[in-house]
Chain A
Amino acid sequence: MLKKIFHYIPRFFSSKDMIVYLTAVILLSVLAFFGFGKLAFAYQNAQDTKEKIADMTAFVDDWNQQVIKLNQEPYRPVREDQVDDVQSNILLLMAANQLSMNSFKSIQDASQKKPSGSLYEMEVEGPWESTVRILGNFHVRDALLAIQNVKLSPVKNGGVKTILEYKIYTKPSAQPSQGK
């Protein structure tokens, strides 16, 4: 039987069109086989890319939300180079409210390992009303300030001596801008 099969194999392929057809089938089969591999690979890549796009979109949305929220804050930390300007305005504020400055110094913020701003102590003297006004409106534009300690004591001329410890918060790095 095998001999007969081998005898007829050359006759089976004797016609050119048989060779052409079978070659075409084999070639297309091989291409289809590799095509499936390539398709699977492309599909997997596409899935990974979609996942990455989703993650990136979520990250960007989250960042946008945070920036919007941050930009809505009325008071924000200032740049390092703006601290002196804020400080000058505080002094002007004191002067504008008839409070005379007795002393002013910069102090180390020992409470935190990484200082989040510049800490100052100022001693002023003046009328009670002015002192209360200052304490209630201790702002310089949109600079983030915090009064950490206030010591009030009466003085002989009817005024109040105020020792004020305050912090001017400074930004950790460059100003963020909102994405698209």
Chain B
Amino acid sequence: MIGIYLSPDETQIVQAKYKNKKLKVELCAVLEPYLDSLKKCDVNFLIALFQRLQQSINVFYEEFYIVLPDSTFLLLDCYDARSDDEEEKMTTVETRLNRTREEFYAAFPLTLQSGTRHKETMIAIDRAMIDALITAAKAAHITLVSVEPASFAYLRCARQWRKEYYLLEAFQNEAVMIAFSPIAGMFRLSVPELAVSGQANSNLEQTLQSVLSRCDAIANRTFEIINTETPVTILAQEREDAAIRLAAALRNRTAKQTGFPEFAESDIEESEQKNFIIPLGGLLPAIEQEESDLYASVPEILHVRPANVLPQDVRLESHLRQVKRITKKYSKILCGALSAILALQLAGILYFNSIVIPTALQTDYDKAQSQMETVKKETELIKSSKTEHQYPIEALTGLLSNRPQNLGFTSIEIGRKGATAGKEQDKKWITFIAKSNDPMVFRDYATQLGDNFLFRGINISQISTDTSGLKSATVFIGKGTVR
């Protein structure tokens, strides 16, 4: 948020952000005065002010709070009201200004209601000036949300609603005194004799005394009750050693100008902070909801409302334009992002859809599937053939290699007919019938056969004698390790 104080002598700018219960003051700057442009309703100059700000700071998301010197307003006064009727209030203003309500904007920031006492504080400003400001803001795409008097901005910043005081806004060529009473309201008194250009006058003390007496008298009349020696706060007068600050008339009545509130954080010196108190006070309405102690000290009988003279419709229009701008900006960004996402999605979909089973692989797979069973069966056949084959030549070689001279075979059978391949077949792999004249030969031969790894389990099942007197042995041999 940006607060701009268009004083006659200079234009003060304050930019701040509210976060985590702290008001971070990011910028405090001073430009040449633009108030005359506003008074002349010079839209182009006002646009130039806003554009100048846009060059230095990012104003896209910012709301602008304009503060004008109290002297700019047509009316700032406190009166006895008969009712709360808005229509009656507007009629009162019309009567006081002798203008129709189409010629001004008004606000009623302070209302006192205590028993029979009912006082209203009214402020009014020339409509043409505000319309020029609104037009310039619209042209420069600025979100204008508030226009209020400097005195109210100061009161809000000071947060001392239970004290009476006079605020002296002294500029180079003009000065006004604002009187505030917590049990009545506010009024403005024009005091051109206290302008800075006239303060070097040797009659300053007298002038001051005269002004203060006049203020006190009017305050007594307007507020009915006012303390004597009401403290005076001198605003808009930079130099601490200015003659007016040292005047005897104010010796016991000068109130120290307040600095930034405690919740405000800033890099500028505390002594410099009072120079920017008014634009800062102007943007405090943005955080009224969060900082409830802005109005904590307001007496119960006094009702404080915004001193914003900007019409409600204008404020809402301004907000609407800002929302539109932001929406358009983020819509463009979102459209760009979504388009990029869609492009990536399309690329991803095309890529993933391109992953297909290669035709060659599919063909090979189909062929392999159709032939795998056959291949496995054939491999099994070859494996089983090695079990079924009885290795006759290896058997014969083993038998004959150690055959004794006096031993002859009458029959050799390798493999068991009808037996299934496996243990049964292997136990009686070879059956032979041999003949010899010496029965011991069979035993010796069996022992020698047992030493051969081809054979296992040599069993001479029977030895008999045939008709010729030769011994006949039937021998079973099991299969050992063949190949």
Contacts and interface: CB of A to CB of B under 8 A. Distances in A.
Interface of A: 4, 8, 11-12, 15, 17-18, 21-22, 24-25, 28-29, 31-32, 35-36, 38-39, 42-43, 45-46, 49-50, 52-53, 56-57, 59-60, 63-64, 66-67, 69-70, 73, 75-77, 110-111, 116-117, 132, 135-136, 144, 146-154, 165, 167, 169, 171-174, 176-177, 179-180
A11 B388 contact: no
Interface string B375-408: 1111101101100111011001000000000000
Given A42-B349, A172-B374, A173-B377, 18 more contacts: A12-B320, A25-B331, A25-B335, A28-B334, A32-B341, A45-B352, A53-B357, A59-B369, A60-B361, A70-B382, A76-B382, A111-B418, A111-B421, A146-B385, A147-B414, A147-B415, A148-B390, A169-B382
B323 interface: yes
A63 B368 contact: yes
11 contacts: A22-B331, A25-B331, A43-B348, A45-B352, A46-B352, A52-B357, A111-B420, A146-B388, A169-B382, A173-B373, A180-B360
A147 B392 contact: yes
Given A73-B382, A150-B390, A4 B375 contact: no
B122 to A, nearest CB: 26
A49 B384 contact: no
By Cβ-Cβ distance, the 7 closest A-B pairs, closest first, are: A28-B338, A146-B389, A63-B368, A42-B352, A149-B415, A35-B345, A46-B352
Contacts of B392: 135, 147, 150
Interface string B312-341: 000010001001100110011011001101
B116 interface: no
A150 B385 contact: no
Nearest to B420: A111
A144 B384 CA distance: 11
Contacts of B411: 151-153
A110 B421 CA distance: 12
Contacts of A147: 389-390, 392, 414-415
A173 B352 contact: no
B388 A171 contact: no
B128 interface: no
A165 B414 CA distance: 10
Contacts of A46: 351-353, 355
B371 interface: yes
B335 A21 contact: yes
Give the interface centre of A56, A75, A148 by most chain B CB atoms within 10 Å: A148
A151 B410 CA distance: 11
Report which residue of B342, B346, B368 has the largest number of chain A beta carbons within 10 angstroms of its beta carbon: B368
Q: Which secondary structure dominates chain B's binding surface?
A: helix
B60 interface: no
B317 to A, nearest CB: 8
B238 to A, nearest CB: 43
Contacts of A173: 373-374, 377
Contacts of B356: 49
Interface string B414-434: 111111110000000000000
A177 B371 CA distance: 9
A76 B382 CA distance: 7
A171 B378 contact: yes
Contacts of A110: 418
A41 to B, nearest CB: 9
A50 B355 contact: yes
A56 B356 CA distance: 12
Contacts of B415: 147-150, 165
B413 A149 contact: yes
Contact of A60 (B364, B393, B420): B364
B21 interface: no
Q: Among B373, B412, B420, which residue has the most Cβ atoms of chain A within 10 A?
A: B412
Contacts of A35: 341-342, 345-346, 349
B162 to A, nearest CB: 33
Nearest to A133: B393
B365 interface: yes
B263 interface: no
B409 interface: yes
Nearest to A172: B377
A174 B371 CA distance: 8
Given A76-B378, A151-B413, A179-B364, A18 B352 contact: no
A152 B411 CA distance: 5
Nearest to A164: B392
A25 B334 contact: yes
B372 interface: yes
B367 interface: yes
A46 B367 CA distance: 24
Contacts of A17: 328
B169 to A, nearest CB: 36
A152 B413 CA distance: 6
B352 to A, nearest CB: 4
A144 B355 contact: no
B399 to A, nearest CB: 10
Contact of B382 (A21, A63, A144): A144
B361 A53 contact: yes
Nearest to B369: A59
Nearest to A28: B338
